[in-house]
């Protein structure tokens, strides 16, 4: 459905699919903490498209690379200029998301809400408590969460927290990192 990434970072919509190497490059950029925008060029040349073609293609990509759910997609025609201006707007939006700072009180309010909705999985006699949190850096945004057992927070619960924080603050196009630390720890 979507084409391959060219050296300039654009996807050619006429190529028919998003290649494994394209996903690998996007994943490497995401893991490096970079902001991403998926630009699909030559959208005007895609035949037999309907109102849901873009959405279906986007869902297929997100299935292969779940982090892309946080990345804006824009379908353009460089030749006609269709939606090209939107790329510049998205660049600014992603830059803003990467630089966004959230006050500690707000981070803790959202953390408390998330904990009330769904507490961390517990093993008998090994209760995991998330005590408080604070945003410790930007580019990419990183939230430190202090816990009595930081190494025992399951990955699925980390994803739950990331999704919850993203509901509160989109951090559009930017990775969101969580760091779990023990009380009094300097790591």
CATH tag for 10-97 (out of 1.10.3720.10, 3.30.360.10, 3.40.50.300, 3.20.20.105): 3.40.50.300
Q: Where are the domains of the chain?
A: 10-97, 104-182
Q: How many helices (H) and strands (E) does the chain have?
A: 5, 6
What pTM, to 2 d.p., does this model score? Answer: 0.82
Structure confidence at residue 97 (pLDDT): 93
Higher pLDDT pick, 33 / 53: 33
pLDDT tens, residue by residue, 78-127: 888 788 889 999 999 999 999 999 999 999 999 999 999 999 988 777 88
pLDDT tier, 56 (very low <50, low <70, confident <90, very high otherwise): confident
Alpha-carbon distance 160 to 111, whole Å?
Answer: 11
Q: What is the crossing angle of helices 155-168 and 104-117, to 10°? A: 120
Read off the tokens for 45: 């040349």
pLDDT tens, residue by residue, 61-88: 888 889 999 999 988 888 887 888 899 9
pLDDT tens, residue by residue, 3-24: 443 333 456 666 656 677 878 8
Alpha-carbon distance 27 to 68, whole Å?
Answer: 9
Statement: residue 31 has pLDDT above 60: yes
Read off the tokens for 169: 């603050």
Alpha helices of the chain — where are they, by DSSP H? 20-31, 53-64, 84-99, 104-117, 155-168
pLDDT tier, 48 (very low <50, low <70, confident <90, very high otherwise): confident
Statement: residue 147 has pLDDT above 60: yes
CATH of region 104-182 = 3.30.300.20
Alpha-carbon distance 63 to 4, whole Å?
Answer: 17
Alpha-carbon distance 100 to 169, whole Å?
Answer: 9
């Amino acid at each position: 459905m979507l084409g391959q990434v060219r050296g300039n970072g654009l996807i050619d919509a006429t190529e028919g699919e998003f290649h494994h190497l394209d996903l690998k490059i996007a994943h490497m950029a995401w893991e490096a903490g970079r902001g991403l925008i998926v630009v699909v060029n030559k959208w005007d040349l895609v035949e037999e498209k309907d109102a849901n073609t873009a959405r279906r293609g986007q869902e297929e990509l997100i299935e292969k690379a779940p982090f892309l759910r946080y990345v804006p997609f824009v379908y353009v025609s460089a030749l006609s200029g269709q939606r090209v201006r939107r790329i510049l707007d998205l660049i600014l939006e992603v830059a803003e998301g990467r630089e966004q700072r959230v006050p500690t009180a707000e981070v803790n309010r959202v953390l408390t809400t998330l904990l009330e909705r769904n507490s961390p999985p517990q093993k008998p006699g090994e209760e995991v408590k998330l005590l408080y949190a604070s945003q410790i850096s930007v580019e990419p945004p990183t939230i430190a969460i202090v816990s009595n057992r930081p190494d025992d927070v399951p990955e699925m619960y980390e994803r739950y927290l990331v999704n919850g924080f993203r509901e509160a603050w989109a951090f559009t196009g930017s990775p969101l990192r969580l760091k779990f630390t023990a009380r009094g720890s300097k790591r």
